[in-house]
Amino acid sequence: MKQTHKVKIVDNVEISPGIYKIDLLFKEIVESAKAGQFVNMYTNSSGSLLPRPISISQINKEKNVLTIVYAVVGKGTKALSEMKIGDEVKVLGPLGNGFNIPKEAENHIVIGGGIGAPPLVELVKQLKGNIEVYLGFRSNPILIEEFKEYGAKVYVATEDGSVGIKGNVRDILKEKNLKADMIYSCGPKPMLKAIAKYATENGIKAQVSMEERMACGIGACVGCTCKTKKKEEVQNKKVCKDGPVFYSEEVVWND
């Protein structure tokens, strides 16, 4: 049974224009949380009773701190950005399934687009072997140093060309002949779809973290379905409970 906890904010800082990093003192879940899972944040904003799903970006078991990184896009995230150190926020989690890290995998490709990059930091921290991280942003890349600190080779693309190559992750994919045992990815759906195609064409397994509008976050409201297939059978799965991470070959990409 998932529980809601009141947790203390120990840091909440703007790391790039409109992007915040919040540290939560969250002893109750640091041991069980997995890379790729998310939490539901009750942000106290007027008119928004529904919680906001945000991915776990880092888990610090020594300090009992969970870090999340979020973009201010509307009322809920604006209210979150205005909360101060010492304030308490209601959080439900950890939710969803997280990334699967196969023991035998040695060569990992990690691909993030925009605000899809944060959950990949904890993943990279836990990967062993050769790790290449490919990140795409409109401008103002985030978290590059964190990925490097955990031993990854990092390649960046920005749409305005201010950092790295000019373009997006799909442009990097076109140029590179990637070799890996596993691709892990999070970002906008068109990017994930392109990665799924690339993975199939190149015989590489890929995991994609899907994003859908959510309400309950625990599989109760059927508000977040995505079409998946098993052999020829198409079924609706709940992104919040069965995902958000799926193997790319499971997802029906045409809708």
Ligand X SMILES: Cc1cc2nc3c(=O)[nH]c(=O)nc-3n(C[C@H](O)[C@H](O)[C@H](O)COP(=O)(O)OP(=O)(O)OC[C@H]3O[C@@H](n4cnc5c(N)ncnc54)[C@H](O)[C@@H]3O)c2cc1C
Q: Which residues make up the interface to ligand X (CB under 6 A)?
A: 38, 48, 52-55, 68-71, 73-77, 115, 118, 211-214, 244
Residue 18 touches which of ligand X, ligand FES, none (CB < 5 to 8 A by kind)? none
Q: For ligand FES, which residue of 35, 120, 143, 214 counts as binding (CB under 6 A)?
A: 214
Nearer to ligand X among residue 142 and residue 196 (C-beta)? 142
With the C-alpha atoms ordered 81, 86, 90, 95, is the resulting torsion angle positive or negative?
A: positive
* Residue from 209, 199, 181 nearest 98 by CA: 209
Nearest CA to 219 out of 252, 251, 243, 186 is that of 243
Residue 99 binds which entry of ligand FES, ligand X, none, CB below 5-8 Å type-dependent: none
User: CB under 8 Å, gap of 24 or more: what pairs does 186-189 form?
Assistant: 186/36, 186/55, 186/111, 186/112, 186/113, 186/116, 186/117, 186/119, 186/120, 187/111, 187/112, 187/113, 187/114, 187/116, 187/117, 187/136, 188/113, 188/114, 188/116
Minimum CB distance to ligand X, residue 90 (Å): 15
Residue (48 or 60) nearer to ligand X, CB = 48
Q: Which of 34, 170, 237, 238 binds ligand FES (CB under 6 A)?
A: 238
Residues 110-129 that bind ligand FES (CB under 6 A): none
Instruction: Return the one option of ligand X, ligand FES, none that residue 146 interacts with (CB less than 5 to 8 A, by type).
Output: none
CB atoms within 10 A of CB 231: 5
Whole-angstrom distance, CA of residue 14 vs CA of residue 124: 23
Residue 115 binding partner per list ligand X, ligand FES, none, with a CB distance cut-off of 5 to 8 Å that depends on partner kind: ligand X
Phi, psi angle pair for 246, to nearest 5°: -130, 155
Residue 136 touches which of ligand X, ligand FES, none (Cβ within 5-8 Å per kind) = none
Cα atoms found within 13 Å of the Cα of residue 133, Cβ hemisphere only = 30
Using CB under 6 A, which of 215, 227, 249, 253 touches ligand FES?
Answer: 215
Is 221 a binding residue for ligand FES by CB under 6 A? The answer is: yes
Rank residues 171 and 212 by Cβ distance to ligand FES and give the closer one: 212
User: According to CB under 6 A, which one of 94, 113, 217, 244 is a site residue for ligand FES?
Assistant: 217
Q: Which is nearer to ligand FES, 183 or 216 (CB)?
A: 216
Q: How far apart are CA 66 and CA 32, in angstroms?
A: 11
Query: Which residues sit at the interface with ligand FES, rule CB under 6 A?
Result: 214-217, 219-224, 238, 240
